[in-house]
């Protein structure tokens, strides 16, 4: 039988090896924890903007009907207001003349996907195709590709956020929902919007909602009487030097620009 005699030197060597092993395991776990925390951090779209200026954006989603689009254009023209329409690629296919009418009237026409799916249910490749296909249709119909994307149903996840960023676009939500798609009375729409709006808000309407054309003039008049400037979404958000807080508010730093 071989007997191992531990000298002081050998004991120190063994202890050093053990300590190094423990440290290596600790660092490995720390690295895994950091990676997990980083990968699990929820990415958030822009819901509103932090600003001291009394500026808001009005936006419309267009996915199906088109009966009221020209009426909305006429109302907005009457008040000299420019807004943002988020349109689906399939809608562009059906109503290219309306895309041109919106663009000619000075409104920005932006991406609402190609076929209005629940984006998080798609692969990253299919997400990218939904965005790029709509962009191509808008470029053909409106003459340029948009920089803004609004997910259908407001449905998003980190994979979608990363996909939107990869094509150099901004993901846009809203902080004031008119709920016009539920067809409330026009007065209820006005009351809901005006009770929630604040500087930097993004208001959501739909181009096909029954009572929106009746409510819209009162919303515009109320906003303007309170000193608000109504601008397209791209003129409200910051393009760089910003963070997005847990509520979805885009917060600029000292070098941010619209």
The residue with tokens 């009572």 is: 211
Structure tokens at 36: 């997990």
Cα pseudo-dihedral 42, 47, 48, 50, rounded to 10: 0
Burial of 89: CB neighbours in 10 Å, binned 0-12, 13-18, 19+: buried
Contact yes or no for 244/251 (Cβ under 8 A)? yes
80: annotated active-site residue: no
Query: In whole angstroms, what is the distance from residue 145 CA to residue 135 CA?
Result: 5
- Sheet with strand 249-257: strands edge to edge: 48-49, 249-257, 240-244
> What DSSP element (H or E) covers 242?
strand 240-244
177: annotated active-site residue: no
Q: Which of 107, 112, 116, 206 is catalytic?
A: 206
Find the DSSP H helices in the chain. 8-40, 69-78, 89-94, 96-104, 124-142, 158-166, 186-196, 212-225, 233-236
What are the two backbone dihedrals, phi and then psi, of residue 20, each rounded to the nearest 5 degrees? -65, -40
Residue 198 Cα distances to 64, 217, 229, 249, angstroms: 30, 18, 11, 12
Residues annotated as catalytic (active site), given as ranges: 61, 206
């Amino acid at each position: 039988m071989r007997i191992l005699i531990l000298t002081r030197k050998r004991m120190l060597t063994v202890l050093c090896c053990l300590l190094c092993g423990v440290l290596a395991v600790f660092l490995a776990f720390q690295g895994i924890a950091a990676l997990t925390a980083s990968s699990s951090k929820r990415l958030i779209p822009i819901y509103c903007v932090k600003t001291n200026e009394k500026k808001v954006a009005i936006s419309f989603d267009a996915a199906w009907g088109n009966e009221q689009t020209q009426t909305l254009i006429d109302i907005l023209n009457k008040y000299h207001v420019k807004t943002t329409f988020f349109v689906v690629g399939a809608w562009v296919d059906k109503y290219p003349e309306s895309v041109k009418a919106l663009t000619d009237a000075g409104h920005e026409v932006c991406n609402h996907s190609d076929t209005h799916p629940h984006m998080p249910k798609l692969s990253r490749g299919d997400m990218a195709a939904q965005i790029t296909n709509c962009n191509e249709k808008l470029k053909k119909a409106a003459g340029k590709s948009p920089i803004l994307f609004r997910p259908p149903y407001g449905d998003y996840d980190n994979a979608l956020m990363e996909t939107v960023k990869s094509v150099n676009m901004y993901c846009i939500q809203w902080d004031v929902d008119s709920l016009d798609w539920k067809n409330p009375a026009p007065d209820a729409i006005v009351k809901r919007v005006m009770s929630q709006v604040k500087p930097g808000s993004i208001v959501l309407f739909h181009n096909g909602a029954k009572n929106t054309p009746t409510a819209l003039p009162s919303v515009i008049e109320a906003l303007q009487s309170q000193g608000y400037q109504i601008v397209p979404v791209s003129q409200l958000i910051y393009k760089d030097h910003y963070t997005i807080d847990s509520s979805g508010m885009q917060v600029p730093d000292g070098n941010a620009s619209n």
